[in-house]
Each structure stands twice: as structure tokens, then as C-alpha cells.
């Protein structure tokens, strides 16, 4: 693993919480993700299955967790299956988990090799009734290729057709939505690394560079901190900022432009999500600053509104009302347009056309129902924006917050966001830093 070891207590507690939600006489099975093919004989890097990681901390392909809290034999109640290491795998693919390492990471005392899975399942299926199986039930997912979960479900239904099959995703989504203190600490670490990357880019940005140069600065900081990009970075200068999911990142930075940076780190598979918009030349124009301050006021207002009991739809509606007042102030819309707006087509949507935020955690667009009221332990993004393609710029600002019983906690409160602070940092010389701990000792 790239990150520092996580105490297995986190995964032990997560499994215990899931076991309490399972009906009597149940089995729950969670698979690792497939290694996705690229071209020819290529494979993508391993992307851990978020649910399997949540329950075990294991990031190795083909791993399977089987939970059966009511199994008669206590040794069968939680078993983790992993690939058996051998010299061939060691030569071609490198290290694979030993049984001892799998227990050390996951806290699961009973580890078996993957070849033992069929016999293990037969014992449990002869004893228990309800089978909870997993699938990707994110409402925005595009599922076009049969997954390992789907193949596994087909095989089990064929072999054991008379069991009661149920969905595991709703139970895991309910659990994952509320972050434990240990998970919040990991999210704070991802935010801290993101902070360092942003400072590095602030001190680097100038006319004549390319969007790709700023991406490289983030990559340097994230990699040296044992992290990775949480999502494809958006480095959008000038009018590119009006493309919401711009990923080209190859255009020159021109004097007078703004550059929108929607970039964040993932540490130990827990994701930050940051957006800042900065002036390429180091100073905002009066118009740019005016629009920026409007977006910042909406951000701060809506952070304060993220309280327990609030529904996402009402939060979003309130953000449009606050944004409407800012757009009126900027003279981008008129009172007449607001008066004539329809409920499903607010006037503000012309310039703020996306959602205000989403849940965050092991996935950037994390699991959880938008129809549940906010509750303590939720982590949300807050990301208002104003996009002015006719003026050649767009501004989005985004912070990550923790919902508590009282006021929400801004996990990115220390990341510069005030326009004066941005300008001041952009005019400071970049500090000289060693590239490695070894270099620092010389």
C-alpha cells in the first residue's frame, strides 16, 4: 500500500456495524473490483472496491469477504479470501498478501486462499437462508460492462437457486454515509495534502505556462505525500472554466485570465474535493473580483446552512435563492426575469447550472441517499459557481465540510480562499524544498 497502515480497529468496527443490520441467518459477500482492461494485453491499475476496503482495508485483486454472523461454527462468521502467493506471481506481479498480512491489515482472524471459497460457501449455503450480494447502485453510475459482482451473482443463483437473495448496497450505503472519527481523520489528511498542492501551484502559476504544468505541480506534491489524484484534475483557464468537466488540461495560461483548479488528493482511498479559481497574472481584475466575492458569499452562506435535518433538495433550493440575489447585484439577471421564472427553471440556472454539493468519502461522489436529511457525521462538498462564457471566465469555489450536531466544520478552512490571500501568496517566492527525506539530511 502507498499510504501509512490504518489501524484495523476501523475495519473491525465497520464489519460489526454491518453485522447488526443483517437479518438473522444471513450471509453477506463482498468482492474486489475487476482489473479493467485497456488495450492489447494492458490492464488498468487496481482501483480498490470501496465497500471491500471499508470492511477490510484490503486493496488486492480477487479478494472476497464472506460474513455469516449466525454461522454455527464461530470460525466461519468472518472469513477473508485472498490469492495464494507463489513464485510465479512473485516474479510477474510482485508481492501478494500472506495470511498473516491480511489479518494484520483487516483484523479478520480467519484468512483462506481463494481456491477454498467454493467449499466454504457450500457449507454456509446449506446452513443459512438469506444471501446479501453487492452491486454498484450509485444513481449516476453508467454500467455497460458486466462486473465481477454481476458474474458472481449469476453463478450463485445458478448453483443455489432456492435461497433468498437480497441487496447489500442499501445497508452499506447507510453505514458509509456517516463517517467515524477515524474516517474523518483520513479525510483531513487528504485535505491537508490537497492544501500543500494548492500552495505549490499558487507560487508557480504565471503567464506563459500551460495548464498541464499546473497539473504536474499537483502530481508532484500528491505523489511525494503518498497520495494520488482523487479524480481527473480540472485545470481550466479562461473560457475553459465554463466547461464543467473540462479535462483537456493542455492550453496556455494567458495574461489577465483566471484559471479554475478543481483538483484534490486521495489518501488511503479517502478523497478530498477542492476547487479554487486564481488569476494567472497574480491579480484579479475588478470585475473578476466582484464575481469571485459573490461566489464566496454563496459558499459561506450554504456551509452554514448544512445542518442536521436539512434535506438536500431544500439546501439546493436555498442556494439558488442566495445565488439569485448575487446575480441581481452583478446585473446578470433582472427582477423581471426572477418574477417570471418557473419552479423547474430558475433564472439563476443560466449562470449556476449544477448542484451545490454531494457526499464525500471513499468515493468522490460518495454513496448515500439525497432523500435523507443531513445528519452528524456526513461529509459534504459545497461548490457554488458562476460561469460567464460571454466574458471568457468562470468561477467555482469548493470546500469540504463535516456535518455536526451544531455548526458544520469546514475541513478546508485553512486553505486560502480570500482574494487578497490568493494574491499575496501568488507574489511570494516559491520556497526551496528538498525532494526527498534523504536530500533533507545532506
State the catalytic residues: 41, 245, 262, 273, 354, 358, 365, 383, 387, 396, 398
**Long-range pairs, 47-54, Cβ under 8 A, ≥24:** 48/269, 50/176, 50/269, 50/362, 50/363, 50/367, 51/134, 51/168, 51/172, 51/176, 53/269, 53/362, 54/11, 54/14, 54/172, 54/175, 54/176, 54/362
- Please enumerate in sequence order all residues whose Cβ is within 8 A of that of 264, keeping only pairs 6 or more positions apart, or say none: 190, 191, 194, 229, 230, 231, 271, 272, 273, 274
Whole-number Å distance between alpha carbons of 48 and 58: 8
Amino acid at each position: 500500500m502507498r499510504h501509512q497502515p490504518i489501524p484495523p480497529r476501523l475495519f473491525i468496527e465497520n464489519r460489526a456495524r454491518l453485522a447488526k443490520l443483517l437479518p438473522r441467518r444471513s450471509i453477506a459477500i463482498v468482492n474486489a473490483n475487476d482489473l479493467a482492461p485497456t488495450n492489447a494485453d494492458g490492464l488498468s491499475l487496481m482501483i480498490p472496491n470501496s465497500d471491500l476496503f471499508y470492511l477490510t482495508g484490503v486493496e488486492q485483486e480477487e479478494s472476497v469477504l464472506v460474513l455469516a454472523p449466525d454461522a454455527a461454527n464461530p470460525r466461519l462468521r468472518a472469513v477473508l479470501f485472498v490469492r495464494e502467493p507463489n513464485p510465479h506471481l512473485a516474479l510477474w506481479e510482485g508481492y501478494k498478501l500472506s495470511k498473516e498480512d491480511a489479518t494484520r491489515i483487516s483484523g479478520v482472524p480467519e484468512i483462506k486462499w481463494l481456491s477454498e471459497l467454493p467449499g466454504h460457501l457450500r457449507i454456509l449455503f446449506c446452513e443459512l437462508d438469506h444471501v446479501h450480494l453487492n452491486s454498484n447502485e450509485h444513481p449516476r453510475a453508467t454500467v455497460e460492462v458486466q462486473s465481477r459482482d454481476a458474474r458472481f451473482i449469476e453463478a450463485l443463483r445458478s448453483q443455489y437457486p432456492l435461497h433468498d437473495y437480497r441487496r447489500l448496497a442499501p445497508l452499506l450505503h447507510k453505514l458509509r454515509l456517516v463517517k467515524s472519527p477515524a474516517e474523518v481523520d483520513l479525510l483531513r489528511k487528504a485535505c491537508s495534502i490537497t492544501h500543500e498542492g494548492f500552495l505549490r501551484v499558487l507560487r508557480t502559476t504565471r503567464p506563459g505556462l500551460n495548464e498541464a504544468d499546473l497539473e504536474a505541480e499537483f502530481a508532484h506534491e500528491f505523489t511525494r505525500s503518498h497520495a494520488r489524484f482523487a479524480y481527473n484534475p480540472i485545470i481550466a483557464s479562461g473560457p475553459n472554466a465554463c466547461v464543467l468537466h473540462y479535462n483537456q488540461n493542455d492550453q496556455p495560461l494567458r495574461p489577465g485570465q483566471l484559471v479554475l483548479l478543481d483538483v484534490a488528493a486521495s489518501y488511503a482511498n479517502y478523497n478530498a474535493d477542492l476547487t479554487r479559481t486564481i488569476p494567472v497574472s497574480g491579480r484579479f481584475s475588478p470585475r473578476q473580483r466582484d464575481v469571485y466575492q459573490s461566489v464566496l458569499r454563496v459558499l459561506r452562506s450554504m456551509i452554514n446552512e448544512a445542518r442536521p435535518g436539512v434535506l438536500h433538495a431544500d439546501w439546493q433550493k436555498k442556494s439558488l435563492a442566495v445565488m439569485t440575489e448575487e446575480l441581481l447585484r452583478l446585473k446578470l439577471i433582472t427582477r423581471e426575469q426572477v418574477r417570471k421564472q418557473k419552479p423547474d427553471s430558475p433564472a439563476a440556472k443560466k449562470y449556476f447550472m449544477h448542484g451545490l454539493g454531494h457526499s464525500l468519502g471513499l468515493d468522490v461522489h460518495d454513496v448515500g441517499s439525497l432523500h435523507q436529511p443531513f445528519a452528524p457525521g456526513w461529509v459534504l462538498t459545497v461548490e457554488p459557481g458562476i460561469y460567464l462564457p460571454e466574458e471568457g471566465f468562470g468561477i467555482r469555489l469548493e470546500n469540504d465540510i463535516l456535518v455536526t450536531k451544531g455548526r458544520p466544520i469546514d475541513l478546508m478552512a485553512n486553505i486560502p480562499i480570500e482574494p487578497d490571500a490568493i494574491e499575496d501568496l501568488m507574489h511570494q517566492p516559491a520556497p526551496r524544498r528538498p525532494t526527498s527525506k534523504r536530500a533533507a539530511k545532506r
